[in-house]
Structure 1
Amino acid sequence: MTDAVKLLDISIMGREFRVACPAHEEETLLQAVQLLDARMHEIRTAGKVIGIEKIAMMTALNMTHEFLTAKVEGGFDFSDFQRKIGNISSTIDAVLQE
């Protein structure tokens, strides 16, 4: 059984996008949009990264790291997770300053 595709208008960092998704995945997609938007705003508010593309890249890197940590370890130690993200952020900050 195939599910109908639904077009949704979403907003991330004040930018509007139209995306398509299966109707049964709409709620999950909207949750993903909220999470992504919140994470991008956090990075922008921290003030270490300037420019929407760099903010998007940092957010993608952070969220991918979270995913891989949870996937590989079947969960994660939050303090270890924070340390790793801090190290990654410091490394990226140093590279961006060069």
Structure 2
Amino acid sequence: MPPEKQTALTIRILGRDYSIACPDGERESLLNSAEYLSRRMHAIQRKGKTLGVERIAVMAALNIARDLIAAERRLERQEAGLPATDSEITERLSQLQLHIESALKEPN
């Protein structure tokens, strides 16, 4: 099987440009991922303390990993026919509140 063709794609995260090798057919997904990551990093940056980009990236990665694990657990519970727990509902509401606050603070 021949290797998948890749093209260079420039993405912008937290105001910085990065050139990334992108497999053909994944461009839209990578752009959406970069935009999501940039929004999460901006939200952390806006919370106050002056942090370096590396620390902001690590904190965003940890938050995204936590969200992924929580989503996997919800899916497992859903597939097993179990209802959502109170802590899962509370966590989801907190996530939605963060998204709302982030969207309201972003310049148009």
Question: Which residue of structure 2 lines up, in the alignment, with residue 18 of structure 1?
Answer: 19
Identity level (%): 35
Could you say what secondary structure the match of 2:20 adopts? Answer: strand
**Gapped regions of structure 2 (runs ≥ 5):** 79-83, 96-108
How many pairs were matched up?
A: 83
Choose 1 or 2 for highest CA Rg. 2
Q: How many Å separate the matches in 2 of 1:50 and 1:21?
A: 29
7-16 vs 37-46, greater mean Cα deviation: 7-16
- 1:74-89 to 2 correspondence within 5 Å? 74=75, 77-81=88-92, 82=94
Corresponding residue of 1:70: 71
Check the 8 A contact 1:3/1:24 in 2, yes or no.
no
Look up the match of 1:31: 32
State the 1:18 CA deviation: 0.6
TM-score relative to the length of structure 2:
0.66
Amino acid at match of 1:71: E
- 4+ aligned runs moved over 3 Å, structure 1: 75-78
Q: Confirm or deny: 8 A CA contact 1:43 1:49 kept in the other structure.
A: no
Instruction: Judge which range, 35-44 or 69-78, deviates more.
Output: 69-78
Matched, 1:58 2:69: no
The alignment's TM-score, normalised by the length of structure 1, stands at 0.73
Residue segments in structure 1 that go unaligned for 5+ positions in a row = 84-98
Change in Cα spacing, 1:78 to 1:19, as seen in structure 2 (3 Å) is farther
**Post-superposition CA distance 1:44-94 (Å, at most 9, x none):** 0111461111111110000000001111221773423439xxxxxxxxxxx
